[in-house]
């Protein structure tokens, strides 16, 4: 299960995030999302846990819990919504 973790402290590293979830079970990966330009944390990350039951317990156990002075937002991540692309002209030409 892919888990979204929001409201992370700016100083949180991938290892810190992994350590937060390890008491709940096996952590496949943990990554804090960084700003492309500055290289600093954007305040959220993702954790992958292969066991859905352990992941559900982690979500329940960590959501709204204080982590270095910030209440975490933890839930199952949702697919990124696709935005309509292309610059279609649509409408009438008024001829």
pLDDT single digits (tens) 14-70:
999 999 999 999 999 999 999 999 999 999 999 999 999 999 999 999 999 999 999
Which residues sit opposite 5 in a β-bridge? 45, 74
**Segments making up each domain of the chain, as ranges:** 2-76
Decide if 3 contacts 49 (C-beta within 8 A). yes
SS3 71: strand
Q: Which residue has the higher pLDDT, 84 or 7?
A: 7
Other residues' Cβ atoms within 10 Å of the Cβ of residue 19: 12
**pTM metric for this prediction:** 0.81
Report the run of H or E that residue 53 belongs to, with start and end. Answer: helix 52-62
Instruction: Please tell me the CATH code under which domain 2-76 is placed.
Output: 3.30.70.330
Between CA 27 and CA 44 the distance in angstroms is 17
């Amino acid at each position: 299960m892919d888990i979204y973790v929001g409201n992370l402290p700016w100083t949180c590293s991938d290892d810190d995030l992994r350590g937060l979830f390890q008491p709940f079970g096996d952590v496949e990966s943990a990554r804090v999302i960084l700003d492309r330009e500055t290289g600093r944390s954007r305040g959220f990350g993702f954790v992958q846990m292969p066991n859905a039951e352990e992941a559900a317990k982690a979500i329940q156990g960590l959501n709204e819990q204080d982590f270095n002075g910030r209440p975490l937002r933890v839930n199952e991540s949702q697919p990124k919504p696709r935005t309509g692309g292309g610059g279609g002209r649509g409408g009438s030409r008024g001829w």
